Structure 1
């Protein structure tokens, strides 16, 4: 059931009386409203042209078509979705390449405990328009092709295992995935104006080689998951196979936490919250429902352990915005001098004290001008 206001009057303590289930602070006051950032106002742009809160600093870690410092590896063009994986005392950041036919793929950068770059390499190549994706609980990266009849590819962030195409997850204009280990399903978004919201139910959790593709269906105020008859979609697109499938205007990023899958739609500048436990759908942010909305052109989304969400803009004024558990939305950073680009690939390192993202076309406005950044600073660990 879609609601723009999550029964504010019914909130008693930490429960919603009319629903009879526990909810966290992050789910009781949708939609988010414009307000002050917990990190304060943005300061003047730094040497990299990034406006940040006081105490934060940025650095460039890679530029498209140039070698990653100290590695000899050339960074891919058009960097897009990304994620971090723990690697001993360090970590690995993976990044998609949203390039045309056969020129897409995924690259990775390895860091030690001091955030020093120790290596860079390819983990997938020869694919098409790898837009976003998502990490799995078993430490793989699912990279999604944003093309009609596109595939998902499961990749190894360490580059030791060959990537595997996961046909059972369906063929459509994939954007992002988010794993729900509680229900053992994987949510998927579709980047078309008449796209759907899917979930893949693996036959065996941890193995994406087989399973069932389902689509979210809306009938009145009731939501249900219905099996897609032909996940291959060759004769009929997956979004057109099930009557009553809920339509979303340009599905983008997805992120799962504490029973809720947050996902974004760029056509209407919304952040959605699918409450899996209650099987309810809420609008967590809508630029039409707040004054002076800071977030437009919604795209990739990630979260911090403290409960904050971070949403990148494709367009707008090149910001990454924060949505707090108190449902306040504000700019966290702004990239200047790159109005012909988009921000993407937002991801925290395992410790949560470094944020990675890319400007897909950088200052040049070309896919060969992409820039990947790191932001370090006093990210909050408590509310």
Structure 2
């Protein structure tokens, strides 16, 4: 029996044995997730006034709408809100959100909250860029905003505002999301192409992304196994695209969200509705979720997109399409629907992120009820999240 299988069996078979910290994470998500017969938060309740179905004990509110002034501020919220993250801000916090708008109309904005969750200010932190889809936070409290075009860059900017910096060394390709690994002092990057790669940027100096080495994951064609990293010779991707430069690169079908925690990085691929997990300590990769492997069906999660994690180790995956849901994968390989947004079938959910205390979840519906990028809605959900 493999060690991971043994650990998972031990957790299931010995109800009095408690795993914690890294050992619990090592046991977690060791096989593709299956339906949870008893979801942690119970069944969804009828939709609220905003069309959101939530479990009992949770409430939702709208915090911003595209094209409208953010309440209590003079800032107009951007169109097509996408990837996001939260940052601590004294007694409050900041939620940043990308604008997936092309032709130089993209960028990112921020909502600043006081200790009581009242919005105290809102402002732009990046502008003039293209199709800023997802991204990721850094340990030094900056936001990496990724351009989802073939000649796209990663832009580093501050949640508090100021000048943004283009990080050319991180590669020029169809960027999607980023996740920082403070243990190995690298940043992982996804690529939204049907034949995309999964990248690792190794900065020359941790905390400074101005120079470094871009690598891409190399492995076989299977859904699990060992892997290595290969150096991308020309991160600029011209004349040959970065994903075409390294023989043996593992191909992933439409890379989307990316999340790191406890020696593991998870990322999603929308082309095959999968969530992948990379065990960085063991040097292996495997499936955390595959909609074709859920039995009995139907699979709850389709159109996988952005992904984030909670303090309890639960993963939250937003749908681009599907039933407009955010689904939850627990550390014991169980998946359930956490919330559903009704009446917005021409939109997608994106940007899930928890505030520092872990009791508020932010996310956006990119096109809202109108189906247009100008109809985006950004929400906050409050409730008894597991910690």
TM-score band w.r.t. shorter chain? over 0.9
Deviation at 1:60, TM superposition (A): 0.3
Contact 2:29 2:331 in 1 (8 A): no
Task: Count how many residue pairs are aligned between Structure 1 and Structure 2.
Answer: 370
SS for the counterpart of 1:24 is helix
Q: Does 1:296 align with 2:302?
A: yes
Q: Which residue of 2 aligns with 1:18?
A: none
Contact 1:313 1:319 in 2 (8 A): yes
Partner Cα separation in structure 1 for residue 39 and residue 173 of structure 2: 37
Deviation at 1:292, TM superposition (A): 1.9
Q: Which residue of 1 aligns with 2:181?
A: 180
Deviation at 1:9, TM superposition (A): 5.1
Gap change, CA 1:315 and 1:11, over 3 Å in 2: closer
Structure 1 stretch displaced more, 5-14 or 246-255: 5-14
Deviation at 1:219, TM superposition (A): 4.7
TM-score (norm. length: structure 1): 0.94
Q: Which residue of 2 aligns with 1:171?
A: 172
Within the candidate set 305, 312, 316, 1:310 is matched to: 316
Unaligned 5+ segments in structure 1 are 15-20
Within the candidate set 99, 102, 117, 2:101 is matched to: 99
Q: Which residue of 1 aligns with 2:207?
A: 206
Within the candidate set 264, 268, 284, 1:264 is matched to: 268
Contact 2:131 2:149 in 1 (8 A): yes
Contact 1:48 1:59 in 2 (8 A): yes
Partner Cα separation in structure 2 for residue 65 and residue 352 of structure 1: 29
SS for the counterpart of 1:29 is coil
Deviation at 1:22, TM superposition (A): 5.2
Once the two structures are superposed, residues 88-124 of structure 1 have per-residue CA deviations (whole angstroms, 9 ceiling, x without a partner) of 0000000000001100000000000000000000000
Unaligned 5+ segments in structure 2 are 12-21
Partner Cα separation in structure 1 for residue 357 and residue 24 of structure 2: 26
Deviation at 1:223, TM superposition (A): 1.3
SS for the counterpart of 2:57 is coil
Q: Does 1:224 align with 2:228?
A: yes
Deviation at 1:30, TM superposition (A): 1.3
Once the two structures are superposed, residues 132-173 of structure 1 have per-residue CA deviations (whole angstroms, 9 ceiling, x without a partner) of 0000000000000000010000000000x3100000000000
Contact 1:6 1:29 in 2 (8 A): no
Within 5 Å, give how 1:22-33 maps onto structure 2.
Answer: 24=25, 27=28, 29-33=30-34
Once the two structures are superposed, residues 258-306 of structure 1 have per-residue CA deviations (whole angstroms, 9 ceiling, x without a partner) of 0000000000000000111111001000001112210000000000001
Contact 2:268 2:306 in 1 (8 A): yes
Contact 1:26 1:307 in 2 (8 A): no
Q: CA RMSD in A?
A: 1.6
Contact 2:257 2:268 in 1 (8 A): yes
Once the two structures are superposed, residues 220-276 of structure 1 have per-residue CA deviations (whole angstroms, 9 ceiling, x without a partner) of 854110100000001000000011100000000000000000000000000000111
Contact 2:4 2:26 in 1 (8 A): no
Q: Does 1:321 align with 2:318?
A: no
SS for the counterpart of 1:144 is strand
Q: Which residue of 1 aligns with 2:376?
A: 370
